[in-house]
Structure 1
Amino acid sequence: MNMMTELKTEAKFVDQFGRGKRKLRISVTDRCNFKCVYCMPEHPEWMKKHDLLSFEQLYHFCDFMVRRGIESIRITGGEPLMRQGVVHFVAQLQQLKKLGLKRISMTTNAHYLKQYAQALKEAGLDDLNISLDSLDAHQFKQLTKKDLSPVLEGIQTAQAVGLPIKINSVLMKGMNEDQILPLARWSVEEKIVLRFIEFMPLDGDRKWSSEYVVSEQQILDSLRTEFAVTQQRSDSTGSTSEPARQYFIDGHPIGIISTITNSFCGTCDRVRLTAQGEFYNCLFAPQALNLKTEIKALNSSEPLSELSLHAALSQYIWNKEYGFHAIEQRLKHQSMNKSSRKISMHILGG
C-alpha cells in the first residue's frame, strides 16, 4: 500500500454556498462514434491520445478526491467504451470503496454495450446511464448518424446481466419532441427508469436557442394526455441533490432534468474532470482549472504534490457560482466571442 492510500480522509471540498462535493464525473475520452446535435460539433477536433491522462493518473486523482469526500464516480466521454482499458479502470476503482467511495457509474450511448456489459458487471460497475433520444429508427439515424438496433441490443444485454440502468433522453423542439409518449410507454413496458432532459447550451457548434427547449411543463402536459402523472415526494430533509425532479406515470417512476426552466443548481454536489486534466466546478463554468501537471505529480511520493493540488482545488471549488442562471449572461457573451472556449458536452461528459 502506498503512502497516499494510508493517509486519513482530508477536509472535504465545499463551495461558497455551502454545497459539499460528493460526486465526480471523469471524462476518459472526448471521442464518440455518435454525432448528436446537442453534444458534438459538426467537425470535432479530437484530443491527441498522448495528451490524455493515463488510467493510472486518473486513479491517483480519484484516490485523492475520495479521501476528500467524493462518494460517487461517474465515468463519461465522449463515449467511454471507445477507450481501451476502461473496464480495467472500473475494476481498479473498487479499491477506493474501502476509503469511502460508494458508487461507480458510467454514461454510455450503448452502441458497444452488448460487447462489454458482462465485463462491466464483473468489474463491479454499479449502474449505467444510457442515452436514447428516439425509438424511431429513421429519426434516431438523423439525430446520431448511427443505427438504433445496436443500442437496443446493448440495453437488453445490460438488463440480462443485471446492470441497473437509467435512460436519458434529450428533447429538442422540431426534432424529437414527438418521442415523449413512445419513450414513456416503452419505459413502462420495459420497467426502465426514464429521464427526459431539457436541451442545454452545451452543443459543440453553439447553435443552442431557448426556442429549441421542450420545457418540463410541456413534457408533463404531453404525458398527462395518456398517463396519470403524480409527483414523487422529495426527501423530507430537503438534502437531495439529484438533478431530476421525480414523477410517477401510472405508478412508474420517471424523471425530468429541467436545467433551463427549473434549475436544480441550488443543491449541486458535482465536479468534473476532462480526459486531459481540465477540472470544472460547474457544467457551465466558462473557465477550467488545468490540473494536468498536479495530477501527474500525484504518482510520486512527494507530499507537497497533494498540498499543491488541494490548495488549487479548494480555491477554485469555493468560487463556484450558484448555477446556470447566475452565469447565463456570461454564456451569452461568450457565444458571441469566437475566441472563447466552446462549452461542449462531448468534452465534459454531462
Structure 2
Amino acid sequence: MPCSSCAPLIDPFARPITYLRVSVTDRCDFRCVYCMAEEMTFLPRKDLLTLEELTRLCNAFTDLGVRKLRITGGEPLVRRDVMAFFRNMGERLGNGLDELTLTTNGSQLRRYARELAACGVKRVNVSIDTLDERKFLDVTRRGRLAQVLDGIDAAQEAGLAVKINAVALKGFNDDEIVSMAEWCAARGMDLTFIEVMPMGDLGNEDRLDQYMPVSDVRARLAQRWRLTDIPLRTGGPARYVRVEETGARIGFITPLTHNFCEGCNRVRVTCTGTLYMCLGQDDAADLRAPLRAHPDDDAPLIDEIRRAIARKPKGHDFDYSRREDWGQVARHMSVTGG
C-alpha cells in the first residue's frame, strides 16, 4: 500500500527525484559496441534481484514520489518471466505511478508487445543506430535488423508509441542522419540522437574517434528542413525540435556538449540492487542488502534510499574536450541500462 506519510525524495540541489530507471537483467542478445564487451561474463542468478524484490524496490520508490518507471537491461525482455514484474508494476499506474515504459533493442517485441500494452505500457524506446543490415550487424555484433523492424511493427500494431534512440557515431551512421529522420517521420515515430558516452571497456572501439557532437547532427538536419525548438518534455534529458515540413519530432541528448544535470530528476538501479545516483559517477548504494535482510519491513530500504539521495552529485564529469576520455567510468553502459 502507498505510504502517505513518506516525504518525497529531494536531492541536495532541490531537485525532486521522480524518474527511476531499473535494470532487470545484465544479459542481452546483442553486444552493441558502445554498451558491452564482445565477450561478456554475466552475473550468476543469485546475485540478481528476484522479480519479487524488484517489485518491492519499485513500490518503495513510487511511495517516495517516483512517477515514471523505465525498465531497462541489458535487454529487459530476455529476463525469464519478466512480464510478471510488468503486471505487478502496471497495478501502480494511477496509484502513484504515471508511466511505465521500457527501453529495448526490439528483438523480443513481436513476442511481448500485446502483453506489454495490456500491462499499461503506452510507449517504448527502441535502440537502433542504422538501417543498413550489414552495419547493424557490425554495431550489434549479432543482431538481425529484420527481427528488430518486425518488432517495431508488432509494437505499433499493439498500439504502442515507438521512439527510436540512435547513438550518433562519426564515420558509422553520420551518413544516415537524414534518412533515419525520414524513416521515423513516415512511420509516425519520434527519433532521438544521443552522444556516445565514455563508459566501460572500449575494446576495439575508440570513443574519441566515434564521438560526434549532436550539434553537428542538428546542423545536418537543418540543411534539409526547418527545425523549431519545442518545450516537449518526456521525463528524461532530451531536448526536442519539430520538423516543420513533416511535423515529426526529433530529440537530442547531449551529455557532453550541453549537459542536462541542472534538471536531473532521475536515478538508476541495477539488476543487483545497486543504486547509482548519477550515470557519470561511481558513487553507489547497496539496496539489495536491506531488501534481503528485512523481507517484511521496507523501512530499512527506504532509509538507505534517502541516505543515497542525500549525496546525489550536482552533475557528471563527461568531457572529450581534452582529447581523452575524461570522466570515464569503468562500468559498461549495460550495467545501469543507459
Query: Residue 182 of structure 2 corresponds to which residue in structure 1?
Result: 185
TM-score, normalising length from structure 1? Answer: 0.89
Query: Residue 288 of structure 1 corresponds to which residue in structure 2?
Result: 284
Matches within 5 A, 1:1-350: 5=1, 7-145=3-141, 146-205=143-202, 209-233=207-231, 242-249=236-243, 250=245, 251-300=247-296, 302=297, 305-306=298-299, 308-325=300-317, 342-350=330-338
Tell me how far apart the structure 2 counterparts of residues 234 and 156 of structure 1 sit (CA, whole Å).
Answer: 25
Tell me how far apart the structure 2 counterparts of residues 208 and 269 of structure 1 sit (CA, whole Å).
Answer: 30
For residue 104 of structure 1, report the CA deviation from its aligned partner.
0.5
For residue 74 of structure 1, report the CA deviation from its aligned partner.
0.7
- Residues 61 and 298, structure 1, Cα contact 8 Å, conserved in 2: no
Tell me how far apart the structure 1 counterparts of residues 231 and 192 of structure 2 sit (CA, whole Å).
Answer: 17
Gaps of 5+ in 1: 336-340
- Residues 28 and 275, structure 1, Cα contact 8 Å, conserved in 2: yes
- Residues 106 and 128, structure 1, Cα contact 8 Å, conserved in 2: yes
Tell me how far apart the structure 1 counterparts of residues 241 and 200 of structure 2 sit (CA, whole Å).
Answer: 27
For residue 343 of structure 1, report the CA deviation from its aligned partner.
2.1
Q: 1:96 to 1:297 in 2, by over 3 A?
A: farther
For residue 56 of structure 1, report the CA deviation from its aligned partner.
0.5
Give the 4+ runs in structure 1 shifted more than 4 A. 326-329, 331-335
C-alpha deviations, 1:185-241, integer Å up to 9, x for none?
A: 101111110001011112443755344221121001111222222211468xxxx85
Q: Over aligned residue pairs, what C-alpha RMSD do you find?
A: 2.2
Tell me how far apart the structure 1 counterparts of residues 310 and 56 of structure 2 sit (CA, whole Å).
Answer: 22
What amino acid maps onto 1:147 in structure 2? R
For residue 332 of structure 1, report the CA deviation from its aligned partner.
5.5
Q: Could you tell me the percent identity over the aligned residues? A: 34
Tell me how far apart the structure 2 counterparts of residues 327 and 62 of structure 1 sit (CA, whole Å).
Answer: 32
What amino acid maps onto 1:242 in structure 2? G
Q: Counterpart of 1:324 in 2: which secondary structure?
A: coil
What amino acid maps onto 1:32 in structure 2? C
Tell me how far apart the structure 2 counterparts of residues 327 and 213 of structure 1 sit (CA, whole Å).
Answer: 11
C-alpha deviations, 1:284-327, integer Å up to 9, x for none?
A: 12132111111224531x4xx51x22332222212111112389
- Residues 281 and 317, structure 2, Cα contact 8 Å, conserved in 1: no
C-alpha deviations, 1:244-286, integer Å up to 9, x for none?
A: 1111122311101111101111101111111111111111121
For residue 116 of structure 1, report the CA deviation from its aligned partner.
1.1
C-alpha deviations, 1:135-189, integer Å up to 9, x for none?
A: 0111111111221000000001100110111110001112222121111110111
For residue 12 of structure 1, report the CA deviation from its aligned partner.
1.3
Q: 1:127 to 1:241 in 2, by over 3 A?
A: closer
Gaps of 5+ in 2: none
TM-score, normalising length from structure 2? Answer: 0.92
Question: Alignment length, in residue pairs?
Answer: 332
Tell me how far apart the structure 2 counterparts of residues 41 and 143 of structure 1 sit (CA, whole Å).
Answer: 12
Tell me how far apart the structure 1 counterparts of residues 302 and 34 of structure 2 sit (CA, whole Å).
Answer: 34
- Residues 284 and 343, structure 1, Cα contact 8 Å, conserved in 2: no
What amino acid maps onto 2:220 in structure 1? S
Tell me how far apart the structure 2 counterparts of residues 60 and 108 of structure 1 sit (CA, whole Å).
Answer: 23
